[in-house]
Chains A and B, each alone.
Chain A
């Protein structure tokens, strides 16, 4: 049996103190990364800090700023939230592609980005939507763009003593279609071999890709060709994604396969969002 302390608190100030009280403190949200990681010895906590009583982290709202998703909102709740489905369906697609129905009943978007896997399925849609991460700690609150939140595999922008409070997708929402494609070895319960998000904003496009670099990345070469140079040959535009990525070989696929499949999926995404 694993050995650590467990504390659940609904009080943010107490949570900040506890976070700083020991070297290895792990916040617990849905636990779908944390518990698997503890099993495998990847995480060795001295203290598990269960966040699930923190009311401030349970918000799920739309206001004049945009859509705010609290750190404790589950992926299934996000998939069913009407403002998400109506305005930013690409995020619902990304959330829906995670794990299985049961995993999504526990897993949160904050857990997904805090775990900072380059393959995190909510990340490429969040990059395309220019989402921001709202961070809170004893020193106050700060907000960082999602693409500055991912620092490398398993590395996020949080300082010791800080928590993710929520994620916000700001208005104006994109006018146009968005798609998220995930290539994986099985139809469910597998991480992405490659994840591709393409979102049109009128006649412009944003493209983000996952699992092909140490963090998710925007495919700026592709975006530039389409948005600045008017490239309409989607095959040519998609081929440029190679400049933006540095995939590795692992158990889910070889480097070469990733180069190939990411290009195919970017082309398909451009076709489906920008017209054939």
Chain B
């Protein structure tokens, strides 16, 4: 078993202090220690984007970050989006446009889209393609995903 280090961080707005194993990825820490399973595991080598989270406000592949690197940082996962049972506008427009089939890529897509709308409130197709360049959808819902993001931008 690998060594543990105490880390302090903010998770979806709440301050936390936990032990993290040095051999653990942030993805595994989020799912297995914080028990937030909205963040998905796909390839675990940075290629699919299912594990996307916001680290200090920026979308990153949590499978390519060590859990111990979370120390002193702010983490936002998909669970932060709906508030008091009310969906975030991106979650709602993804439903309105049926922007998924199996839904496995959806948390990562929505996190990347959220970061995009914060950078660029009115994104072009090109901006969307760039922001989602690391989020793959095996079901091929890309058209609907683009439409859902544009729709959310108007709201």
A residues adjacent to B (C-beta < 8 A) = 1-6, 8, 28, 30-32, 35-36, 39-40, 48, 50, 52, 99-103, 105-106, 187-189
Is B98 in contact with chain A by the CB < 8 A criterion?
Answer: no
Complex CA gap A40/B43 in Å reads: 12
Among B9-17, B22-30, B79-87, the one that faces the other chain is: B22-30
Pick 7 A–B contacts, CB within 8 A, sort by A: A1-B1, A3-B2, A30-B64, A100-B135, A101-B131, A103-B46, A106-B65
Contact, CB under 8 Å: A103 / B134: yes
Is B107 in contact with chain A by the CB < 8 A criterion?
Answer: no
Contact, CB under 8 Å: B65 / A1: no
- Answer whether A39 and B134 are a contact pair too, CB < 8 Å, given A4-B22, A6-B22, A106-B65: no
Contact, CB under 8 Å: A31 / B64: yes
Selected from B59, B71, B134, the residue in CB contact (under 8 A) with A189 is B134
Q: Most chain-B CB neighbours within 10 Å: which of A50, A99, A100, A102?
A: A102
The smallest beta-carbon distance between B137 and chain A, in angstroms, is 13
The smallest beta-carbon distance between B27 and chain A, in angstroms, is 11
- Nearest to A100 among chain B residues (CB) is B134
Binary interface encoding of chain B residues 44-87 relative to chain A, with 1 for a CB under 8 A from any of its CBs, else 0: 11110100100000111101111011010000000000000000
The smallest beta-carbon distance between A190 and chain B, in angstroms, is 9
Task: Point out the residues of chain B lying under 8 angstroms from A103, CB to CB.
Answer: 46, 61, 64, 134
Complex CA gap A6/B71 in Å reads: 13
State the interface size on chain B (CB cutoff 8 A): 34
Task: Point out the residues of chain B lying under 8 angstroms from A35, CB to CB.
Answer: 25, 63-66
Contact, CB under 8 Å: B61 / A102: yes
Contact, CB under 8 Å: B58 / A105: yes
Is B41 in contact with chain A by the CB < 8 A criterion?
Answer: no
- Answer whether A2 and B2 are a contact pair too, CB < 8 Å, given A32-B64, A35-B25: yes
10 residue pairs, one from A and one from B, having the closest CB atoms: A100-B134, A2-B23, A188-B133, A6-B22, A1-B23, A102-B134, A100-B133, A3-B2, A105-B58, A36-B45
Contact, CB under 8 Å: A101 / B47: no
The smallest beta-carbon distance between A209 and chain B, in angstroms, is 24
Contact, CB under 8 Å: A6 / B5: yes
- Nearest to B20 among chain A residues (CB) is A6
Contact, CB under 8 Å: B49 / A100: yes
Contact, CB under 8 Å: A6 / B59: no
Is B118 in contact with chain A by the CB < 8 A criterion?
Answer: no
Complex CA gap A106/B13 in Å reads: 22
Is B112 in contact with chain A by the CB < 8 A criterion?
Answer: yes
Task: Point out the residues of chain B lying under 8 angstroms from A188, CB to CB.
Answer: 133-134
Q: Most chain-A CB neighbours within 10 Å: which of B5, B60, B64, B71?
A: B64
Task: Point out the residues of chain A lying under 8 angstroms from B71, CB to CB.
Answer: 8
Complex CA gap A100/B132 in Å reads: 8
Complex CA gap A6/B1 in Å reads: 14
Contact, CB under 8 Å: B69 / A102: no
- Answer whether A4 and B23 are a contact pair too, CB < 8 Å, given A31-B66, A39-B44: yes
